[in-house]
């Protein structure tokens, strides 16, 4: 849950109500759905992109961020998987497609969205997995992305730890 989310803004499963979601959060949700189609159905971007844009509520999403995530994750899937592999405790084929897509989104944002703090990226990926994935999938995504962040965003994390220490 983000620092600005109030208990009244939560659904019974702990996820955020649609009315409180930011355009970027919505973009991640639509990208996750498109990536799921890609991972499970093997569909290409030429099918997934227009289909996803026609889904209800897409007009409230950050379309530019959706484009970056969907297209970037599919086009860089090999690189993203290579960045995740050292932190996995099982073969990629055994990772659920929702967890896989959420981790792609997280690593993509670590690499290409320096304006988004690493903690926000992890939180958003965990929330996606809570909302769309299996019961404890979010715990796995959290653990893997925390380790990936240490590798990819080490300078930002070090600066955060330095600023967290009392003077």
- pLDDT per residue as tens digits for the range 112-127: 999 999 999 999 999 9
Q: Which fold has domain 21-164?
A: N-utilizing Substance Protein B Homolog; Chain A (1.10.940)
CA distance 146 to 122: 7
Helix 97-112 × helix 23-36 angle, to 10°: 130
Contact by Cβ (8 Å): 103, 145:
yes
Helix, coil or strand: residue 98: helix
The whole model's pTM is what?
Answer: 0.86
**Cα Rg of the chain (Å, integer):** 16
* Residue spans of alpha helices (H) in the chain: 23-36, 45-53, 63-75, 77-84, 97-112, 118-132, 137-152, 154-164
Q: Which of 98-102, 150-154, 161-165 shows the lowest per-residue confidence on average (mean pLDDT)? A: 161-165
Helices 77-84 and 97-112, axial angle in degrees (round to 10): 100
Encode pLDDT of 27-79 as tens digits. 999 999 999 999 999 999 999 999 999 999 999 999 999 999 999 999 999 99
The ranges assigned to domains in the chain are 21-164
């Amino acid at each position: 849950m983000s620092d600005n989310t109030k208990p009244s803004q939560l659904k019974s499963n702990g996820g955020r109500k649609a009315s409180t979601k930011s355009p970027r959060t919505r973009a991640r949700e639509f990208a996750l759905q498109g990536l799921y189609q890609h991972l499970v159905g093997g569909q290409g971007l030429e099918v997934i992109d227009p289909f996803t844009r026609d889904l209800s509520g897409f007009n409230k999403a950050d379309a530019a961020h959706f484009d970056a995530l969907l297209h970037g994750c599919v086009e860089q899937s090999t690189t993203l998987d290579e960045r995740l592999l050292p932190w996995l405790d099982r073969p990629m084929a055994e990772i659920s497609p929702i967890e896989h897509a959420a981790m792609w989104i997280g690593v993509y944002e670590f690499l290409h969205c320096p304006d988004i703090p690493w903690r926000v990226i992890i939180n958003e990926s965990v929330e996606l997995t809570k909302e769309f994935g299996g019961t404890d999938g979010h715990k796995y995504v959290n653990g893997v992305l925390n380790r990936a962040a240490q590798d990819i965003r080490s300078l930002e994390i070090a600066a955060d730890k330095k600023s967290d220490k009392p003077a």
